[in-house]
Structure 1
Amino acid sequence: MITVQHRFIDHQINSTTETLIIGTFNPETADNDAEFFYGRSRNYLWRLLPTAFGKADLKGASKQKKLDFIREHKIDLTDLIEEIQVEEGQEANYYDGYIDNTVTRWKNIISLIDTLPNLKRVCFTRKTFSDIPNMKKQLSEIQKHCNNKGIAFQALTTPARFYREDKQTEWTNFLLNGNK
Structure 2
Amino acid sequence: MPSLKNASYKEKIAFSRHKKVGFIDLIRSVEVPIGSECTYEDAFIDNKVAEWNDVFSLLSNIKTVEQVLFTRKSFKDIPNIRKRIEEVHSFCVQSDIKFSLLPTPARIYSDKKLNIWQKNILM
**What is the rounded CA distance, in whole Å, between the counterparts of 2:3 and 2:36 in structure 1?**
32
For 1:37-116, list aligned pairs within 5 A: 55-116=1-62
RMSD between aligned residues: 1.0
**What is the rounded CA distance, in whole Å, between the counterparts of 1:83 and 1:142 in structure 2?**
18
Of 152, 158, 163, 2:109 maps to: 163
Unaligned runs of 5+ in 1: 1-54
**What is the rounded CA distance, in whole Å, between the counterparts of 1:58 and 1:94 in structure 2?**
25
**What is the rounded CA distance, in whole Å, between the counterparts of 1:89 and 1:159 in structure 2?**
29
**What is the rounded CA distance, in whole Å, between the counterparts of 2:14 and 2:55 in structure 1?**
23
**What is the rounded CA distance, in whole Å, between the counterparts of 2:6 and 2:29 in structure 1?**
27
Is 1:129 equivalent to 2:75 in the alignment? yes
Of 121, 125, 138, 2:84 maps to: 138
Shift of 1:90: 1.9
Shift of 1:60: 2.5
Shift of 1:98: 1.2
Q: Letter of the 1:94 partner, please give it.
A: Y
Is 1:148 equivalent to 2:88 in the alignment? no
**What is the rounded CA distance, in whole Å, between the counterparts of 1:136 and 1:65 in structure 2?**
33
How many residues align? The count is: 123
- Structure 1 length as normaliser, TM-score? 0.66
List structure 1 segments (4+ residues) > 4 angstroms apart after TM superposition. Answer: none
**What is the rounded CA distance, in whole Å, between the counterparts of 2:98 and 2:33 in structure 1?**
38
Shift of 1:140: 0.8
How many percent identity over aligned positions? Answer: 38
Relative contact order, higher structure (CA 8 A, sep 6+): 1
**What is the rounded CA distance, in whole Å, between the counterparts of 1:123 and 1:92 in structure 2?**
27
Structure 1 or 2: more strand by fraction: 1
**What is the rounded CA distance, in whole Å, between the counterparts of 1:78 and 1:98 in structure 2?**
21
Is 1:118 equivalent to 2:82 in the alignment? no
- Structure 2 length as normaliser, TM-score? 0.95
